[in-house]
Structure 1
Amino acid sequence: MNAQYDVVVVGGRVAGASTAMLLARAGAKVALLERSAYGSDTVSTHGLMRAGATQLSRWGLLDKLTGTPPIRSTTFHYSDREPEQVSIRPGGGVDALYAPRRQLLDRILVDAAADAGAEVRHGVAVTDLLRDDSGRVTGVRLQDRSELTAGITIGADGIRSTVASATGAPVVRRGRSCSAVLYRYYAGVQTTGYEWAYAPGGAAGLLPTTDGATCVFVATTPARMRSLRREGAEQAFATLLADMAPSLTDLLIPATPVDRMHGWAGAAGFFRQAGGPGWALVGDAGYYKDPITTHGMTDALRDAELLSDALTGPGPVPAALAKYQATRDELSIALFEATESVASYTWSLDEIRELLRKVSSAMKAEVTQFVL
């Protein structure tokens, strides 16, 4: 079966579903394709920062995060001093932050795309791109050999993007640092806010998430994680949590694990070229940074709106894609560089405090982008 669309979006997670929703709301005929099952889980940092929460509010979706507690404080734990608590003040049209489970957030965004008129298909794998005689991308070929044609094909399919690979999208900037992460969900953790902990060589954290669960993570260099995991993931998790955050370990004494351990081996960050003839990239497919600053979902929501605005605005598409890339990079570079430094794990405790101030400052530009 062949079908004609204005836009085919490959990847139906945060970036892809948001892009499909916004383009469909603008009147485009959109197909949204996702290889995983509807409402399935995926590796995630969970935390929505202010810009992301603001966008969900403007889109009429924030109140759908049912069962996800509002987060109104952040506590920073350092191994050389007492914890420091910071209140999250109202701003940008929201009075709290949120850390939803992906089964909930992805489903909300996919449903919003379908409600806007997008045709949503789950369990669909894209194997190749279609091209015309000039080499311009004109759609996708699916695993069942059917084809969907479109004016533009958007890759929102993660760091190992099929669309990026098939187009040869060049990496225009590459990072060097990366975190290896273990995380698990617990019930019964007595915390109501974000808890971040830092000690030489690593970090840990707690994020209150959906349905009474708390995501507990530990992060360090890939080399150290590999060494610790020789004794098993459970031992590595316990060792890192005790080293990084003994005060957080105490919070887990009455808590109960509610699922298995999850892991991320680490990958260096990058910026890819954001588009070309008949194609564009959004989310981790186009720009990825280390998860230690828990900003990936917020980046995905931001870039979905930037790309949608570019494609529905006046002027030729090549110029719009160039502007999209320039804006994406301008809003991203300061946080990317700060995240690189945090993920090196070579800092002293005085240095990590300064780096975290840089992280906070870098977030303000994207809040301004969508609020003012």
Structure 2
Amino acid sequence: MSAQYDVLVVGGRVAGASTAMLLARAGARVALVERSAYGSDTVSTHGLMRTGVMQLSRWGLLDRLTGTPPIRCTTFHYSDREPEQVPIRALYAPRRHLLDRVLVDAAAEAGAEVRHGVAVTSLLRDDGGRVTGVRTRDGSELTAGITIGADGIRSTIASATGAPVVRRGRSRSAVLYRYYAGVESTGYEWAYAPGRGAGLLPTTDGATCVFVATTPARMRSLRRGGTEQAFTTLLADMAPSLTDLLSPATPVDRMHGWAGAAGFFRQAWGPGWALVGDAGYYKDPITTHGMTDALRDAELLSDALTGAGPESAALAKYQATRDELSTALFEVTESVASYAWSLDELRVLLRKVSSAMKAEVAQFAL
């Protein structure tokens, strides 16, 4: 049976939609399937770092982030000293219902066939064991030359292929976040006190995402008194300057939470399949780099699949490059997410976070 598509992408969020768009722009017959509804929201750190912004600009999509303000400074608040402000090039923190929709629309405009509300249940394989497509919950089959799992940390594709975890982290952040109106900030605001952290990210349509993070054990203990109390307790005494920013603000929606998960690197490819985004590589959200990783790896994978040479060699190079660009930031994120630091130690770690981003900026500035 001939394949319906050259590429089938399972998962239509940042990683999957970007991969589908790039491959369709390169001339491949692409199908993109996503189990959630078009334009739906999802748990997210929102922050796009420099590499992600560079890519969206190069792809002609940055100006579609309507209502999302440019962020031109970062302020670090500490409980033991005055805040430190750092100017930055324009960054963005879009809501996911906007960013994901922009990327999905761009994939469809490039010629990808996009289907929402499609849940994949199992893989199809040929007699030699190569993945040849998927079977969906309604019993239909979609066949493709290569199937890409972009379906998150609990990836159905990763599970069905048996993709092994080749490295696993140990640290985890438990997070609560909510959107506020009336926060008088025009930049990223990161705040730290012993054993906890917080952030303010100006996002779409005048809202600001405010999050608090700590260890899962401490979060569970605090939440016994209720989610609101846990949120308030973690923000309390974080830094006086942060309290001043939040005092005139009002919440505009419910509280969201993330219980935490250990980071990992999975084997990223095999016969007829590949993984991208959180399906293949995930790290703790405390360094707010997940969406940037997803955009980065989408481009690395699409370049591998559209280049010359054997598929196996191209995909092996994709994984090697992903790991090379990810390792330093993964390791320092593990340290930050341990919450076992003193504030002096944390300041050293945050400088390492900044340094660890330089390699991927150089990779995509070529």
TM bucket (normalised to shorter chain) is: over 0.9
Provide TM-score, normalisation by structure 1: 0.97
Structure 1 residue 246 displacement after superposition: 3.9
In structure 1, the partner of 2:43 is 43
Q: How does 1:286-305 map to 2 (within 5 A)?
A: 286-305=280-299
Other-structure match for 2:88: 88
**Is the Cα contact below 8 Å between 1:204 and 1:245 reproduced in 2?**
no
From 89, 102, 105, the counterpart of 2:99:
105
Aligned to 1:156: 150
Secondary structure (helix, strand or coil) at the match of 2:222 reads helix
DSSP-derived class of the 1:111 partner: helix
- 1:274 deviation in Å? 0.5
Counterpart for residue 109 of structure 2 = 115
Instruction: Give, in whole Å, the separation in 2 of the partners of 1:226 and 1:244.
Output: 19
- Residue 153 of structure 1: CA displacement? 0.2
Residues 10 and 147 in structure 2, CA contact (< 8 A), matched pair in contact too: yes
Q: Verify the 8 A CA contact 2:3 2:145 in the aligned structure 1.
A: no
1:359 has 2:345 as partner: no
**Aligned twin of 2:61:** 61
Percent of aligned pairs sharing the same letter: 89
Aligned residues: 365
**Contact 2:146/2:274, CA 8 A, preserved across alignment:** yes
Which of 256, 273, 280 aligns to 1:279? It is 273
Superposed CA deviations along residues 298-330 of structure 1, whole A, max 9, x for unmatched, are 000000000000000000101111000000000
Moved over 3 A (4+): none
Q: Once the 2 structures are TM-superposed, how far is the Cα of residue 19 of structure 1 from its aligned partner?
A: 0.1
SS in 2 for 1:150: strand
The alpha carbon displacement at 1:99 in A equals: 0.1
Q: How far apart are the structure 2 equivalents of 1:254 and 1:346?
A: 32
Secondary structure of the 1:74 match is strand
What stretches of structure 1 of length at least 5 have no aligned partner? 90-95
5 Å-filtered alignment, 1:259-270, equals 259-270=253-264
Distance 1:220 1:318 in 2: 41
Q: Where do 5+ consecutive residues of structure 2 fail to align?
A: none
Deviation for aligned residue 1:256:
1.2
Is 2:208 aligned against 1:247? Answer: no
What displacement does 1:165 show? Answer: 0.1
The match for 2:138 among 137, 140, 144 is 144
The answer on whether the counterparts of 1:76 and 1:84 sit within 8 Å (CA) in structure 2 is yes
C-alpha displacement at 1:250, in angstroms? 2.5
- Whole-Å separation in 2 of the counterparts to 1:283 and 1:236: 31
C-alpha RMSD of matched pairs (Å): 0.9
**In the alignment, what sits opposite 2:196?**
202
1:348 aligns with 2:342: yes
Shift of 1:3: 6.7
Distance (Å, rounded) in 1 between the aligned partners of 2:308 and 2:30: 19
What amino acid does structure 2 have at the position aligned with 1:82?
A: E
TM-score by length of 2: 0.99
Cross-structure match for 1:93 = none
Structure 2 counterpart of 1:132, one-letter code: D
Give 1:76's aligned residue: 76
Question: Cα deviation per residue 1:191-231 (whole Å; 9 max; x = unaligned)?
Answer: 00000001110100100000000000000000000000000
- 2:252 aligned residue (254, 258, 262): 258
> Per the alignment, in what secondary structure is the counterpart of residue 176 of structure 1?
coil
Distance of aligned partners of 1:295 and 1:355 in 2 relative to their CA distance in 1, 3 Å threshold: same
